[in-house]
Amino acid sequence: MEKKLLNLLTALCLVSLPFLFRGSKMRENLVIFFSKGVLATLVDAYVVGTKRIDYPVRPFPKIFKTNIIYDMLFFPILSVIWVKISYNDNLVKILLKSLIFSVPMSIGQWYFEKNSRLFKWKKWSPFHTFGSVNFTLFTIRGFVGLIKKLDNLKRT
C-alpha cells in the first residue's frame, strides 16, 4: 500500500509541474521550488539524523534516509502554490493562508503515521509538523520577498 501511495504522490507531483512553471514568474517559481527542496532536505536530514522521525518505506532506501519525494517534489510544489496564492497579501492574510497548508499537512501526517508505514514518529507530533511546515513556508516567503526587493533596487 505504501509504495502505491508514494507512486501516486509522485505521479500527481509530476503532472502538476508543467502547470506551475509557466508564465511570467517561471524563473521565480523555479527559485522557490529549488530553495524549498534544499531547505526541506536539510530540515528532514536533521530530523531523521536526530531520530525524531523514521521513514520505513521510502524511495532508494539504501541511498537516502529521508523521503526524497516529500523533500524534493511535494513540499516544493506546495511552496510554489502557497507563494502564488499569497504573493500580494499582507501579513495577516499570509498567516491565514499558511494554515491552509500546515493544518491539513499536520492532520494528514498524523493519520498516515497511525495507519501506514510511510513514517514513524519517535520524538515528533502533529505540532512539530505544523511548526516545521510553517517555518519552511515563511522562510521561503521571506526569501521571495528579499528577491523582489533586490529586483526592485536593480531596476531603479
Distance of CA 105 to the CA centre of its chain: 10
- Using pLDDT thresholds of 50, 70 and 90, give the confidence band for residue 155: confident
- CA–CA distance, 1 with 135 (Å, rounded to integer): 30
Cα angle 141-118-40, degrees, rounded to a multiple of 5: 20
pLDDT tens profile 81-114: 999 898 888 889 999 999 999 999 999 999 999 9
- CA–CA distance, 44 with 52 (Å, rounded to integer): 10
pLDDT for 25: 83
Q: Is the pLDDT of residue 154 over 80?
A: no
Please count the CA atoms within 13 angstroms of the CA of 97 that sit on its side-chain side. 19
Mean pLDDT (whole number) for 113-127: 95
Ordered by start, the domain boundaries in the chain are: 2-155
- Using pLDDT thresholds of 50, 70 and 90, give the confidence band for residue 1: confident
- Using pLDDT thresholds of 50, 70 and 90, give the confidence band for residue 51: very high
Cell numbers for 99: 494554515
pLDDT tens profile 10-49: 999 999 999 888 888 888 899 999 999 999 999 999 999 9
